[in-house]
Chains A and B, each alone.
Chain A
Amino acid sequence: MERSPLGQTLLVQALAVLTGLVAGAVLIWLTGGDPILAYGGLWEGSLGRAASVSETLVWATPYILAGLAVGLAFRGGLFNIGAEGQLSVGALVSAWVGFAVQGVPWPLHLPLALGAGALAGAAWAGLAGWLKARTGAHEVITTIMLNYVALLGTGYLLSGLLKDPSPFVIVAQTPKVLESARIPALFADLRVHWGLVLALALAAGCWWLLFRSTIGFAIRTVGLNPSAARYAGISVSGTVVLTMALSGALAGLAGAVEVLGVNYYHTPGFSVGYGFDSIAVALLGKSHPLGVIPAALLFGALRAGATRMQFVSQIPIDVISIVQGIILLLVAADELVRRVYRIGGRRPAVSAERAAEGTVARSWGRAE
C-alpha cells in the first residue's frame, strides 16, 4: 500500500473527528437532549473563555505526555498498554518525594520529584521490556497485568503506608506535596501550569530523538524489522528495554505533572483512564511526537468541555466518552472514512514527495 501525503492524512483525521461529533450529536438527540445546546456548552467549556482554554490545557498536559509514551513505543514496534499503571506509579512516587522530602529548596525539590516519577514509570515499563527481551513474554500481556499490580499496589500503599495520617482524612490519599515541589502556574488565577511547557518541550525532544538521533534510528529499525536490525548489528533486546523504559518515563511524568501541577496529592481513582485514552491519542496523532500534540488538545478539549456541556444541557458525561470512542474507531479504521468521503487512498498522491516519513499510517510501528 502506498503512502498518503501529510495533507490527506490530516484531512482523514479531521473527517474522523467531525464524523464522531456528528454521530455524537445524533446520539444526544436520540437520548432526548439538545445537540446545539450541548455542543455550545462543549465549546464554551473548552475554548470559549480564558479559563476554559486553561482547563483544556490542564487536561491536555498529561495526554501529551502519555500519548508520547504510547507513540514512542509504537515506533519501536511495542504496544505499551501499561501507560495507565506506569502513570499511577509515577504519580505515587512523585507525590511521595513531594511530601516526604523536606527542607529542600524548590529548584532542587521539584526536579527531584519529577525525576523520581519518571524513573518509577521507566522502571515499571522497563520491567515489561526486560521480560520481553529476556523471555519473549508479549508486552501487551505483561503491561496489562502490570497495570493491575500497579493500580492495586498503589491503592494498597495509599490506604496504608502513604496515607495522610490526619485522623480526619478517611479516604485513601497522600498528604499534600510541599510548596517546594509544586509546579508553578503559568498565569495567576488559571490552573494551566509549566508542566504544559515541559510536555511540549518533550514532544520536540521525542521528535529529535526518534528522527535525528542514533538511538531513535535503532528504535525505529527494531520497530520496522527486528531481524534486519539484528543483522545490522543493533542490539534488539537492549533497544526493546530502552524503548519501554523511555515510554514508561514519559507515562510516569504524565502522572507526576498531574500530582505536582494540579492535584498536589495522589489518590486511587485519580488518573483512571488517562493511560487508555493515551492509546487513542497516540493513534490519532499517528504515533508522531508532533501529531500527538493536536490529538491531546482535542481530547483535552472534549474532557474539559464535558463539564460545561453537562451543566447547560444536563446530558450525561458518558456521551463524551462515546464520542471519543467513535472518533477512535474511525481513526483506527480510516479506510472507512476514506470510503465514506471518497478520498482516494489508492490514487497517486498530490504532493507525495514531502510526505513526512513519520506521519504515514504506520500506527503499529510496522511496515505495511
Chain B
Amino acid sequence: MPRLRILVPVLVVTMLAVACSSASTLAPTSVPAKPAETKPAASPATAASPATAASPSTAASPAASPAAASASPAASPGASPGASPAAAASPAAAAAKRLRVGLVTDVGKVDDKSFNQSAWEGVQRAQRELGAEVKFLETTDPKDYAKNIDQFAQDNYDVIVTVGFAIGQATQEAAVKYRNVRFIGVDQFQEKTVDNVSGLIFDEDKAGYLAGALAGLLTQSGTVGAVLGTDLVPPVVKFGKGYEAGAKAVKPDIKVLMAYHPGGLARGFTDPDWGKATTTQMIQQQADVIFGAGGNTGNGALLGALERNVLAIGVDTDQWETLPQVRPVLVSSAMKLITPGVFDLIKATGDGSIKAGNQVGQVGLAPFHDNDSKVPAAAKERLQQIDAGLKNGSIRTGVTLP
C-alpha cells in the first residue's frame, strides 16, 4: 500500500500543525489592555445561549448605582448572537428611526466571557430597550479591522462599536473616512479627540479602591494582598494603588502586601505560576484576602488563594463566570462595567447627547454570588456608601500617576 506511506505523515503532521497553531494563537499575545483574557471551559463557538444575556456585567452589583444595576430581564431568543437581527424586531421600537448598531471585535469572539462579550451584551441591550437593529463581526486577523468596520459603515449603520485598544487606530481612521457614523471605542483612550469617536475608558483606581475596601472589611488578620501584572502598564498600577488606598480607608492600620510581576510586558500577564507562588507567600505572611489583577498572572493568584482556602477578589469582568473553578473562594471582582457603558453611549447617540473624546464608564464590584453570606451586612452598607462617594466625587482615591 504505497498510499499509506503518504497518508501517515499527512495525518501526523496535520495534527502537529494544528497543535502548533492553536498554541501559537494563545501564547504570544500579551495584551495588557485586556488582562482578564482567560479562556474558560470551552464554550460552543456561536451558541451563546440566551442565558449569557443575563450578563455578569448588567446583573445588579452590590455597590453599583441604580443606573448600572438595572438588571435587565433575560434576553428573548431573538437576542442570541446567532439569530438574524432583522427577525428580532423589538416591541420597544418606539423611536421613529431605528438605530442601526454594528460591533466589531478585536481578534476575539463575542462569547469570550470578557470584553468582547460584555460589549456585545451592551449592544444587545440596545436592541431590546431601544429597538436597535444590531449585528456583529468577529475579526480573525488585525488586517481586517478596517475592512470589518467598512462593512457596517458602507451599509449606513448609525453606530459602530469597536472593542479593545488594538482596533483603536483603525477606528480613528475609519471615523475620518465616515463622518456621519458614530464610533464607540471600548477601552480606547483618545489621545486626540475626533468629532465622531467616543472612547469608553474606566477609572481602574476606583475599581481597585472598591476591591481594597472590600478586602479591608473582610480581613480578620489585618493583612491583605494584591498580586498584579507588570507595573509598566498604567492601568495595573492604578488598580494596585487604588486597592491600597481603599483598604487603608476602611482600616487605617491594615497591612497591604503588593507584588507587581517583574517580567515586564512579555511575561507580566501570562505567568500564573508566579501569581500562585506569590499568593502562597502572602498567605504565609498572614494575608487572608487576595486581589488578583493581571490576566493569567492574576488568575494564578486566585487559584493560589483557592488552594489555601483564602478569600479572593478578581478583576475586569465577573470572574465568577470566567474562572469558575475559584468560585468557592471568589467573593467578588473589581469590574469595568462595559455593558452599561456601551449601552449608555449607544443611547446617547440615539438622543443626540453623545460627546466625543474620552467617556469614563462606571466601575463596580461583581455580585458576591454564593459567598454572599461571608460579607456582613454592615460591610455591604459601607461598600454602598463608598461606591456612591466615588461616583459623586465626595470620595477620592488619591491615585495619581506620574
Identify the A interface with B (CB < 8 A): 1, 31-32, 55, 58, 79, 81, 84, 140, 144, 147-148, 151-152, 154-156, 159-160, 163, 168, 170-173, 258, 262-263, 267-270, 272-273, 276, 279, 303, 306-308, 310-311, 314, 316-318, 328, 332-333, 335, 363-364, 368
Contacts and interface: CB of A to CB of B under 8 A. Distances in A.
Given A170-B233, A263-B142, A317-B138, A273 B28 contact: no
A159 B30 contact: yes
A140 B13 contact: yes
A152 B25 CA distance: 11
Given A307-B144, A332-B14, A1 B166 contact: no
A269 B10 contact: no
B29 A269 contact: yes
Interface stretch (B16-24, B205-213, B277-285, B389-397): B16-24
B378 interface: no
A171 B164 CA distance: 10
A155 B7 contact: no
Contacts of B165: 170-171
A355 B51 CA distance: 59
Contact of A171 (B32, B136, B141): B32
Interface in B221-279: 233-235, 264-266
Interface of B: 2-3, 5-7, 9-10, 13-14, 16-18, 20-21, 23-25, 27-33, 45-46, 81-85, 107, 135-138, 140-144, 147-148, 151, 155, 165-166, 189, 191, 233-235, 264-266
A171 B21 contact: no
B141 A151 contact: no
Contacts of B46: 31, 316, 318
A272 B21 contact: yes
B28 to A, nearest CB: 3
Contacts of A84: 20-21, 24
B156 to A, nearest CB: 13
B9 A156 contact: no
Question: Which of B135, B137, B266 counts the most chain A CB atoms within 10 A?
Answer: B266
Binding site secondary structure of chain B: helix
B2 A368 contact: yes
B101 to A, nearest CB: 14
A277 to B, nearest CB: 9
B204 to A, nearest CB: 12
Contacts of A156: 266
A368 B3 CA distance: 8
- 7 tightest A-B contacts by CB? A155-B28, A159-B265, A268-B28, A156-B266, A316-B46, A332-B10, A168-B191
B401 to A, nearest CB: 11
Contacts of B17: 81, 276, 279
Contacts, number: 138
A262 B28 CA distance: 21
A311 B13 CA distance: 34
Contact of A159 (B7, B33, B235, B264): B264
A333 B191 CA distance: 54
Contacts of A306: 140
A72 B181 CA distance: 48
Contact of B23 (A148, A316, A368): A148
A343 to B, nearest CB: 15
A273 B107 contact: no
B109 to A, nearest CB: 8
B31 A171 contact: yes
Given A148-B23, A152-B28, 14 more contacts: A81-B16, A81-B17, A148-B24, A160-B266, A268-B30, A269-B25, A276-B18, A303-B141, A307-B151, A316-B46, A318-B45, A332-B7, A335-B3, A368-B2
Given A163-B265, A168-B191, A328-B14, A155 B27 contact: yes
A79 B20 CA distance: 15
B323 to A, nearest CB: 23
A171 B266 CA distance: 11
A148 B16 CA distance: 13
Contacts of A263: 142-143
Contacts of B264: 159-160
Contacts of B189: 168, 170
Contacts of B191: 168
Nearest to B146: A191
Question: Which of B20, B33, B107, B234 counts the most chain A CB atoms within 10 A?
Answer: B20
A267 B142 CA distance: 9
A341 to B, nearest CB: 17
B42 to A, nearest CB: 13
Question: Which of A168, A303, A316 counts the most chain B CB atoms within 10 A?
Answer: A316
A311 B20 contact: no
A55 B147 contact: yes
Contacts of A152: 27-28
Contacts of B148: 307
B29 A268 contact: yes
A16 to B, nearest CB: 14
Nearest to B18: A276
B333 to A, nearest CB: 21
A258 B14 CA distance: 25
A144 B31 CA distance: 24
Contacts of A335: 3
A263 B142 CA distance: 8
Contact of A270 (B3, B27, B143): B143
Contacts of A144: 16, 20
B135 to A, nearest CB: 7
A335 B1 CA distance: 12
A307 B20 contact: no
A155 B81 CA distance: 33
Contacts of B83: 314
